[in-house]
Structure 1
């Protein structure tokens, strides 16, 4: 099945709209940093050794 130019343009519009819904890079990095901080804070209380 060949995809014509019009279908490709429609797909591109949908992909762009979905990409705009995704969080930005800075937001993702902040979430990762927060998760790591929470994880590290909990590790000693679980009796695990933390490597730093």
Structure 2
């Protein structure tokens, strides 16, 4: 039981950074997209001045 428990923890420790990286990449992509949309709206479509 101990051997399989250690192996499970090793596998879990390999998966957690990958999952965290995917979540962080998704948040970064959404934030970049939002900043881009706001920049386009502010600098390209703002022709009133």
TM-score bin (small chain): 0.3 to 0.5
When the two structures are superposed, what TM-score results if normalisation uses the length of structure 2? 0.45
Highest relative contact order (Cα 8 Å, sep 6+), 1 or 2?
1
Determine which structure has the larger helix proportion and give its number. Answer: 2
When the two structures are superposed, what TM-score results if normalisation uses the length of structure 1? 0.43
